[in-house]
Amino acid sequence: MSRSEIKVYRHLMGENDLWAEHTRELLLKRRLLMLNLIGSPGAGKTALLEAMVGRLAGKFRFAVLEGDVETTYDAERLVRIGIQASQLLTSGGCHLQARMVHQALLDLPLDALEVVVVENVGNLVCPAEFDLGEMGKVAVLSVTEGEDKPAKYPMLFREAKAVVLTKIDLIPYLPFKMERCMEFIRQVNGQVPVFPLSALKGEGVAPWIEWVAAQREGLGKGSA
């Protein structure tokens, strides 16, 4: 190569992004909504999915792709109460990868489903950085984690299509200020809908389910 020649490198989509695009095309073709639940370990992601069963009232049929580092405990919890669930193990990885999600998605009975929920590995950082082809990320925050997490981990809350604030039945026993938490969320994402709820008590679960159903209905209107 002569001194006058210049090599030019352009950014190409990585393997993860390519698989995410394959998934997005598949979902759009089938008018299938896929949401990516992201939250810390113990934030109540699995409990939220459990609370949805029995409260759907025919609104939509859904399955879960359950992400964990090890064990099938959470998928077993869901299957026991009648949820179609598959376990995705990262074997040490801090987030799910798009290729694994795509392959697991193809193994589901897609013709019998309207919504797929991915429960990502418990982590507020890594999962927010990787596209799985989902229609939207959902930030799951427990009141036990404190109201400042949206400020400390802004990327997730900035990208979130919705925020679910869990375990609100514990607020009387915690130094947690709802107003302060909402301020932090609005500083990062001024428009995101927030759903305070208690999966244990069932309080606030209905509005969350209505929101998910609306996202599914919006697929055909280009609003999801």
Please count the structural domains in the chain.
1
Does residue 49 contact residue 83 with C-beta atoms inside 8 Å?
yes
pLDDT in tens, 171-216: 999 999 999 999 999 999 999 999 999 999 999 999 999 999 999 9
pLDDT in tens, 1-43: 555 677 655 555 589 999 999 999 999 999 999 999 999 999 9
Beta-sheet strands, E only, within 143-197: 160-166, 194-196
Q: What is the pLDDT of residue 4?
A: 64
Beta-sheet strands, E only, within 42-143: 62-68, 84-89, 115-119, 136-142
Residue 3 within any structural domain of the chain: no
Residue 8 within any structural domain of the chain: no
Question: What is the end-to-end Cα distance of the chain in Å, rounded?
Answer: 50
Residue 69 within any structural domain of the chain: yes
Distance (Å, whole) CA 224 – CA 216: 7
Q: What is the CATH number of the domain that holds 75?
A: 3.40.50.300
Sheet strand arrangement including 136-142: 84-89, 62-68, 115-119, 33-39, 136-142, 160-166, 194-196
Distance (Å, whole) CA 14 – CA 133: 13
Residue 9 within any structural domain of the chain: no
Residue 1 within any structural domain of the chain: no
Residue 4 within any structural domain of the chain: no
Helix axes 98-106, 15-30, angle to 10 degrees: 30
> 32: domain range?
15-217
Distance (Å, whole) CA 17 – CA 19: 5
Show Cβ contacts of residue 157 under 8 Å, excluding neighbours closer than 6 positions: 139, 150, 163, 185, 188, 189, 192
Residue 62 within any structural domain of the chain: yes
Q: What pTM does this model have?
A: 0.91
Residue 60 within any structural domain of the chain: yes
